[in-house]
Amino acid sequence: MTLQHVDILFQLIVFLFAISFHESAHAWTANRCGDPTARMLGRITLNPIKHIDPVGTVLLPLIASVARIPMLGWAKPTPVNPQNFKNPVRDDILTSVAGPISNFLVAGGALCVLALISFASPLGHQIVHAIPFVYPNRLELLAAQTGSALMPLSLLAYELMVINIVLGVFNLIPIPPLDGSHVIRHFLPDPILRVYDTVGIFGLMALVYLGGGLLARLIYPVKDLFDSFLIRF
């Protein structure tokens, strides 16, 4: 098994963890805000089986793995009943943004792990500094140069950072049913809101299948920001 195959396996593992953490954050926040619906359905869990969506969790990640593009997708939506919220508008917004925020927190945690690896040894420093420049197409070259167990560990942490950044940014896009839309929709008048909700799914499909350039322009500046911190360690 080559490092490229290991990397694909890492991506799938990290993706399942990231979406599970994301949906658990939605469910936990909704419960804290007064709606126990998701908690009662067992959605406050890191068990990915509870969160799997056939298209977003299975099909799209497999396509991404084969095409060697950033892992992208979604989980089964967390059920929320806004009527249970103490403050319907505020709590719906808080519940919605909890998912992307959780992804950025995990990405920050992965960045800290990479910093520890970098400070642990000169070889760790070399690997951590090199990964942003060789990812994803020249990983084998870096692995051949280092031959260290720190290489797969660093790669796993880097994938954890990147995939959570991708999911965090993607879900903040204000297209229904993505999390960002739950912020925008509270400020739209009813006639526009009905159109917004109706065409949203078509906009999402167009974004996923046709909007690769737009997604890159949204995601890569955030990834580059994290990379800039990484190469300073």
Q: Between these two residues, 204 and 185, which has the higher pLDDT value? A: 185
SS3 call for 59: helix
- Average pLDDT of the chain, as a whole number: 88
Q: Is pLDDT above 90 for 74?
A: no
Instruction: Read off φ and ψ for residue 84, nearest 5 degrees.
Output: -85, -10
Give me the number of domains the chain comprises. 1
Lowest mean pLDDT among 34-38, 158-162, 185-189: 185-189
pLDDT per residue as tens digits for the range 109-158: 999 999 999 999 898 899 899 898 888 777 776 766 667 788 889 999 99
pLDDT for 57:
87
Phi–psi pair at 229, nearest 5 degrees = -65, -40
pTM: 0.92
Between 197 and 146, name the one with better pLDDT. 197
Residue ranges making up the domain that contains 83: 3-230
Stretch 223-227: mean pLDDT, rounded?
Answer: 95
Residue 121's region, left for phi above 0, alpha for psi from -120 to 50, else beta, is beta
Share of the chain above pLDDT 90, in %: 50
- At 172 the pLDDT is 93
Which of 55-59, 102-106, 186-190 is the most confident on average? Answer: 102-106
Cα–Cα separations (whole angstroms), residue 104 to 89, 166, 168, 224: 23, 9, 6, 14
CA-atom Rg of the chain in angstroms? 19
The top-scoring range by mean pLDDT among 98-102, 176-180, 189-193, 198-202 is 98-102
- The first and second tokens of residue 94, run together, are 């808080």
> Is the predicted pLDDT of residue 30 greater than 90, yes or no?
yes
Confidence of residue 100 (pLDDT cuts 50, 70, 90): very high
- Please tell me which residue, 58 or 95, carries the higher pLDDT value: 95
pLDDT of 5 > 80? The answer is: no
Higher pLDDT, 11 or 6: 11
Is 218 in contact with 174 (CB distance < 8 Å)? no
